[in-house]
Amino acid sequence: MSEPQTLPAALQSLLDREAIRDCLLRYCRGIDRCDEDALRSAYWEDATDCHGAWNGSAAGFIAQALPRLRQGGRRVHQITNVLIELHGDVAAVESSFIALQSTAAQPDRETFLCGRYADRFERRGGEWRVAARTVVYDWIEERTRPELAQDDAALFGARQPVGGRAPHDAVYALLHNVRGG
């Protein structure tokens, strides 16, 4: 438990925590929508990422992941149980994730992953981003789901629109409209 804070310090803490949560969610949008700008905005340029088979620069992770993700498949990443320990311009952040994935190469193969992002966040120029990430895997289930290989119309029927890649997903039309573009 932390010591009681003065009101300005407590407000800054809340602002910092919200900025970190926003960054975590931009990462999820970036992965799920193949949105390179959102994905890169979650990491500092010199960040590292230990992500399963990938262990190196975050830029390298993005460079090898995006072409594969853009081939197709379905992805949903959700962040839960975010614990943030602030230490000035550095934070230790543990956030649980749930990911459901299929690939273009095996559209009928579903992978369900649960784990945690163990992140070192840094605030630079007033902005929080991931400086170092280690992905910890806690659960995996894989199964064959033949219905996933169907096209969107057959799979979702009247449940439209369906999720898509940037910039064609419905959220990008919303953002364009709200931003007055």
3-state secondary structure 95-156: EEEEEEEEECCCCCEEEEEEEEEEEEEEEECCEEEEEEEEEEEEEEEEEECHHHHCCHHHHH
Average pLDDT over residues 123-127: 97
Closest CA to 26 of 17, 35, 16, 15: 35
135-163 pLDDT per residue, tens: 999 999 999 999 989 998 999 999 999 99
If pLDDT is split at 50, 70 and 90, which confidence band does 1 have?
low
Average pLDDT value for the chain: 95
Beta partners for residue 95, in sequence order: 117
* Tens-digit pLDDT profile for residues 20-78: 999 999 999 999 999 999 999 999 999 999 999 999 999 999 999 999 999 999 999 99
Rounded distance, CA 69 to CA 55, Å? 18
Residue 85: per-residue pLDDT: 98
Confidence of residue 6 (pLDDT cuts 50, 70, 90): confident
Q: What is the pLDDT of residue 71?
A: 94
* 168/33 Cα distance (integer angstroms): 9
Using alpha carbons, select from 50, 39, 23, 54 the residue that is nearest to residue 126: 23
Q: Which residues are within 8 A (CB) of 45 and not within 5 positions of it... i.e. 6 or more apart?
A: 59
Q: Which of 114, 156, 121 is nearest to 135 (CA)?
A: 114
Cβ atoms of residues 165 and 33 within 8 Å: yes
Work out whether strand 90-103 and strand 43-51 pair parallel, antiparallel, or are unpaired. Answer: unpaired
> What's the pLDDT score for residue 2?
61
The residue whose two tokens read 């999820």 is 28
Q: In 3D, which of 77, 41, 47 has the Cα closest to residue 61?
A: 47
Contact 10/86 with Cβ under 8 angstroms? no
Look up residue 178 and give its two tokens: 């709200």
